[in-house]
Amino acid sequence: MADHGSARFVGRSMLWREDQRLLTGQGQFIADLALPQMLHATFVRSELAHARIRSVDVARRSHTWGRNGAHWS
């Protein structure tokens, strides 16, 4: 005979430990983290699966404060 112990949770709201903290704005998120000399990264994926990159134009981003560089492989 199958164990139906988990059936008591089906269709019912579950209260999670972190709900209260997150819903009241007291939660901490990774986006809230600020460390000295911290860098942010952005990953850009090609829209074309097997395309070759001929060049990367970083001139539009050169005005960004603290820009560390553009790297690709």
Looking at the domain assignment, is residue 70 inside a domain? Answer: no
Residue 67 within a domain: no
Mean pLDDT of 27-32: 83
Question: Domain for residue 47, yes or no?
Answer: yes
Q: C-alpha distances in angstroms, 56 versus 11, 14, 40, 48, 62?
A: 51, 48, 19, 15, 12
Between 25 and 72, the higher pLDDT residue: 25
Query: Per the domain annotation, does 33 fall within a domain?
Result: yes
- For residue 69, what are its two tokens? 């560089």
- The predicted pLDDT at position 13 comes to 81
Confidence of residue 56 (pLDDT cuts 50, 70, 90): confident
Please state the domain count of the chain.
Answer: 1
Is residue 69 in some structural domain?
no
Structure tokens at 38: 């911290």
Is 21 a domain residue?
yes
Q: Which domain holds residue 22?
A: 16-62
Residue 2 falls within a domain, yes or no?
Answer: no
Classify residue 1: in a domain, yes or no.
Answer: no
CB–CB of 39/68 below 8 Å?
A: yes
Greater pLDDT, 28 or 2: 28
Q: pLDDT grade, residue 66 (50/70/90)? A: low
